Amino acid sequence: MTALNPQPYKGTRDYYPQDKRVQNYIFTMWRRVAELYGYEEYGTPLLEPIEIYAAKSGQEIVNDQTYTFIDRGDRQVAIRPEMTPSVSRLVAQQRQEMAYPARLYSIANFMRYERPQRGREREFWQLNVDVFGVNEIVADAEIISLGNDILKTFGADESMYTIKINNRKLIQQMMSGYLGLDTVQSELMVKLFDKKNKIEATAFRDQALEIFGSAAGQTGVAKIAALLSAKNINELPAQILECEAMSEIRVLFSVLKKNGVTNAVFDSTLMRGLDYYTGTVFEFFDSDPENNRSLFGGGRYDGLVGLFGADPISAVGFAPGLTTTELFLTSHKLLPVFHSTTEVYIVVLEGGEDAAAKLTKQLRAEGVKTEHDITARKTDKQIKTALKKDIPFIIFVGPEEADSELYPFKVTASTEEKKLSFERIVSTVKDRRIKRDDEIDDLFA
């Protein structure tokens, strides 16, 4: 019989305990900030009918990246590649019963069939944060401010990232009104703008000329150059400054400034490729040269809920990913040092089996996370196990310790060892917890 391959499916990863500690830390911070803003957690199924993605997500996701199959009821279903259509369906289902604004968040895993690379996996985890029922631009500002506070909660400062902002209404005006493109040309130009920073300048220019056609090519490229040379909103061509969408952008920047967000910039090349965006679009970009990439993004999508037969309702959201967040924290040295979730390892000395079992039960009753060695191995091997697992404290239990009720208590990170009573052991372990919690809470100061 051929041995099975122990590697996970391509583009996915296993999470060993040390990996789960990082994941759980990031999830904990995400939850804290979302709930500080009044958002409540929800969940949706892993499988959805394919049509909810085909309606608005974009052909690349549906045709090239979505895992689809026919179920036993002859229905075509998909493993969710994103959350926005699912949460829109969820809201549509109870459109009349929900209280608005509806502030919702989830932490879930998704799958897309794309080429695995740094920061991009086929199975990935995301925080999804959305507010429904607010037409005004203050909702866009709240969502961006929440994303900003997430990064600050991890210890980041605004020099470490930039928030790039655009507006799909403005993009439409740029393509049709300013550049004079028809619907097909506009769609092609949006895709070209979306990859501008990933291709050479000459390739960008050549592809733009091809989209314009020979007659309008030179004039069109000159207009793009004028657009891209603007260093701020006020330097944009007059034809763009006069459109209605520009007033939305000005209001958004004003509210963000009041919210203390000072590193937001307008970027005319930011497109956000998904078809359902209707207004503000934004992305957070890492400023580290070694990890210069988009961290996460989002925007306003006012049309999705209406696709499910409910009355239309406005919505704004964003979705940071686990992997890109971990890369950001690693590149900026913001990840704390993590230890085992187990707090105490009981090393059983000869003749101390019953006493060790009793002490283990008492510690667990006090909420102390305790691993009791049940192997009957030599003492040195038990100690090596505790050290390898990175458990912070070791307690030695034998007949003498059982009689005196004083237990050798070793701090594994040092040579320190003391004899402590049961009560002192419990208080020492819980004191360490408080100190670690204080370290986390300092990030919210």
The residue extents of the domains of the chain are: 17-196+245-331, 344-444
Check residue 231 and give its pLDDT. Answer: 78
β-pairing, 123-132 vs 47-49, is unpaired
Query: Whole-model pTM above 0.85?
Result: yes
β-pairing, 161-167 vs 123-132, is unpaired
Q: What's the CA gap between 437 and 434, in Å, rounded? A: 5
Distance, first Cα to last Cα, the chain: 59
**58-90: pLDDT as tens digits:** 666 777 899 999 999 999 999 999 999 999 999
Check residue 47 and give its pLDDT. Answer: 96
**141-191: pLDDT as tens digits:** 999 999 999 999 999 999 999 999 999 999 988 898 889 999 899 889 988
Check residue 436 and give its pLDDT. Answer: 57
DSSP calls for 348-387: EPTT-HHHHHHHHHHHHHTT--EEE--S---HHHHHHHHH
Q: What's the CA gap between 104 and 127, in Å, rounded? A: 11
Own/partner pairs for 33-40, CB < 8 Å, 24+ apart?
33/146, 33/149, 33/150, 33/153, 34/105, 34/127, 34/129, 34/146, 35/105, 36/149, 37/103, 37/142, 37/146, 37/149, 38/103, 39/103, 39/104, 39/105, 39/129, 39/131, 39/146, 40/103, 40/104, 40/105
β-pairing, 123-132 vs 102-111, is antiparallel
CB 291 within 8 A of CB 328: yes
Nearest to 266 by CA among 138, 164, 145: 164
Is domain 17-196+245-331 annotated with CATH 3.30.70.20? no
Whether 201 shows a pLDDT value over 70: the answer reads yes
Nearest to 313 by CA among 322, 325, 305: 305
Domain 344-444, CATH among 2.60.40.10, 3.40.50.800, 3.40.30.10, 1.10.3720.10: 3.40.50.800
72: three-class secondary structure by DSSP? coil
Q: Residue holding tokens 């969820």? A: 90
Q: Residue holding tokens 């996996």? A: 121
Partners of residue 102 on adjacent β-strands: 132
Cα-to-chain-centroid distance, residue 144: 14
66: three-class secondary structure by DSSP? coil
**334-361: pLDDT as tens digits:** 999 888 999 999 999 999 999 999 999 9
Nearest to 268 by CA among 173, 204, 188: 173
**27-60: pLDDT as tens digits:** 999 999 999 999 999 999 999 999 998 876 666 6
Q: What's the CA gap between 445 and 433, in Å, rounded? A: 19
pLDDT > 70: percent of the chain? 96
